[in-house]
Structure 1
Amino acid sequence: MPSLARRSFSRRLAWALLLLSPAMFAVNMLMARYATFVPPNALALGRWLGVALLLLPFVWPRLVRHRHALSREWPDLLLLGALGMWICGAWVYIGGRTAPALNIGLIYAASPILVVALGRLLYRERLTAGRLAGIALCLAGVAAVFAKGRIGNLLSVEFTEGDLWIAAASACWGVYSVLLKHRPSALDPLTRLCAIAFAGSLVLLPFAVGEAVLWHGPDFTDWRTWVSWLVLALIPGVGAYGAFAFCIRELGPSVTSVSMYLGPLYVGILAWIILGEAPQWYHFVGTALVLPGLFLATRSPAKGA
């Protein structure tokens, strides 16, 4: 009976975290807009080094036990660190200096369409009519945000610099997700995240140093710098990734993946409340296209279809 009660509690907790984890991921988009006083590469380095150090005491025995696997997998870890922590980290913070938080959320929300496309191209995963329709809707939604609701903007390619940085990071997030799924690893998800976070920190270090020499470095005397690093490491770092992994274990990947559809909604609400960035009419159009498009694009094909 105690084990049944524990199992029931775990599932209830998972359902609660399913609603909470997209909000924790959304904090990263808000911090990209708020923490502009920290240089972007330094902001990403502080976040992911913080994640690695926070996870290290919990996963150290497993890292030692799998040290031979680490020596085999280090090229994958460096590649994943470069994609997930440098490009999908620092580039988001660069784009966040000019792109509104809701733009970031909507453009990033469409990244699963690249996961679907790469899965088809590289691993022959099925691409159904529903998925094709979903991809078309997602592209239309992102185009509406890019063009600010005006076809003329889209035809003349008048995109903001921040939007393009976010789009590049979103595309690399799709590549990162595909590699994370299909590259074999002897490490469990949390231990692998710690290893990738350390690898990403190594990739970020020379960029952060170069940024400090050529532009300026973080102000270590400013308490806001340390708070920004801590918030990013705890909430969209350890908190969001840990909650997501827990939900996958308790509820399965198909149910857990539905939570990504809440991301733009949380980003829009939090950006409005905290940053005062009121959504524009074209954000609603983009959301109305992206969310059902995500559902169709990422839905598993019916058996026998």
Structure 2
Amino acid sequence: MVSEPHRLAWLLLWVTPALWSSNYLIARAAGGVIAPHLLALLRWTLALLLLLPFSWRALVREPRGWLREWPQLLVLGGLGMWICGAFVYIGARTTSALNIALIYAVAPVGIAVCGVLLLHERMSPAQRLGAALAVAGVLYVIARGDVGNLIAVRFALGDAWIVAASVSWIAYSVLSQRWKSVLPPAARTAAVVAGGVLVLLPFTLLEAWAAPQPPWSARAALLVVLAALLPGALSYTAYAIVQRELGAARTGLMLYLAPLYAALLAWALLGEPPRGYHVVGAALILPSIWLATRR
């Protein structure tokens, strides 16, 4: 008999990519409205406040757990909230929402490759082919369909920020699975977010000192609230539940749907229609995820 948490995990498998994709739209809409690190800091501070009512009992019940795990929580917070947060908002200034989604879609392939390098797992020839095709697809998207742009090193700086964020997400996924915790998913997510807020704070202050900030506005406040709710507290908690109930391989399937959701939402809400190179890149990337992550 299928348990209720397992049933919920299958539902979240389809919902979570839509929550993730909303962050790409928020990132595109934030340019000139709110500074990247400030948006990331306020997003995760608010997300932490939303998570605490559901997790404080577990945190109080297991103080030795999170006190013992605090170095891991800081690392995960830096990877998941600082790099995967502020870097995406910086990169979105000069690249499209669909580019972000397609670059992020290669993360399951990276996770599989990390399994080979770090856990000494084996990859079949088909899996190696899938990994190579996925990388080719990302390079094609970054080059905007013109290989000459790669040869001449001409591509949007925003894509480089997104590649860094994607690599950080791979590290976050691998380490959060590798580092076992005594905390339940919601409590561990709250503890990781707290670590991320601590890491973000000095970089936000440095950003404010180094460059003039856009004036605070109702639109900036709305973006903070949306970022905290949709790709913040809800998506990370859902990701933790799906990963716990269905395992890392099935969790990776969520990234098949993210580019589709991102393409439809960006077209409808931001007026960013898919280009020909997006279609070719998706045709290379999405089947490759299946090849590279299958057993």
Change (3 A) 1:253 1:178: closer
User: 2 CA distance for matches of 1:284 and 1:72?
Assistant: 47
User: 1 CA distance for matches of 2:241 and 2:118?
Assistant: 28
Is 1:157 paired with 2:153?
A: yes
User: 2 CA distance for matches of 1:182 and 1:211?
Assistant: 33
Aligned length: 294
Query: For residue 80 of structure 1, what is the amino acid of its counterpart?
Result: L
Q: Deviations over 1:69-102 (max 9, x none)?
A: 2221111111111111111110010000111001
Task: Report what 2:26 is aligned to.
Answer: 31
Q: Deviations over 1:254-301 (max 9, x none)?
A: 4443222111111111101000011110000000111001111122x2
User: 2 CA distance for matches of 1:276 and 1:251?
Assistant: 36
User: 1 CA distance for matches of 2:278 and 2:221?
Assistant: 32
User: 1 CA distance for matches of 2:260 and 2:242?
Assistant: 20
| 1:169 corresponds to which of 162, 165, 186 | 165
Task: Report what 1:62 is aligned to.
Answer: 58
User: 2 CA distance for matches of 1:185 and 1:10?
Assistant: 19
Q: Deviations over 1:83-124 (max 9, x none)?
A: 111111100100001110011000111122222222211111
Task: Report what 1:132 is aligned to.
Answer: 128
Residue 143 of structure 1: how far off its partner (Å): 0.9
Residue 177 of structure 1: how far off its partner (Å): 1.2
Task: Report what 1:270 is aligned to.
Answer: 265
Change (3 A) 1:72 1:47: same
User: 1 CA distance for matches of 2:77 and 2:101?
Assistant: 22
| 2:290 corresponds to which of 275, 292, 295 | 295
User: 1 CA distance for matches of 2:121 and 2:228?
Assistant: 34
Task: Report what 2:43 is aligned to.
Answer: 47
Query: For residue 194 of structure 1, what is the amino acid of its counterpart?
Result: A
Q: Is the 8 A contact 1:25 1:236 kept in 2?
A: yes
| 1:197 corresponds to which of 180, 193, 200 | 193
Is 1:243 paired with 2:228?
A: no
Is 1:231 paired with 2:247?
A: no
Q: Is the 8 A contact 2:249 2:293 kept in 1?
A: no
| 2:89 corresponds to which of 86, 90, 93 | 93
Is 1:21 paired with 2:16?
A: yes
Q: Is the 8 A contact 1:39 1:216 kept in 2?
A: no
Q: Is the 8 A contact 2:28 2:93 kept in 1?
A: yes
CA RMSD of aligned residues (A): 1.9
Q: Deviations over 1:218-258 (max 9, x none)?
A: 644x1112211111111111222233344445555544432
Q: Percent identity?
A: 49
TM-score by length of 2: 0.93
Q: Is the 8 A contact 2:108 2:252 kept in 1?
A: no
> Runs of 5+ in structure 1 lacking a partner?
none
Is 1:77 paired with 2:73?
A: yes
TM-score by length of 1: 0.90
Residue 211 of structure 1: how far off its partner (Å): 1.2
| 2:274 corresponds to which of 279, 293, 296 | 279
Task: Report what 1:142 is aligned to.
Answer: 138
Change (3 A) 1:217 1:195: farther
Q: Is the 8 A contact 1:134 1:297 kept in 2?
A: yes
Q: Is the 8 A contact 1:212 1:218 kept in 2?
A: no
Query: For residue 150 of structure 2, what is the amino acid of its counterpart?
Result: L
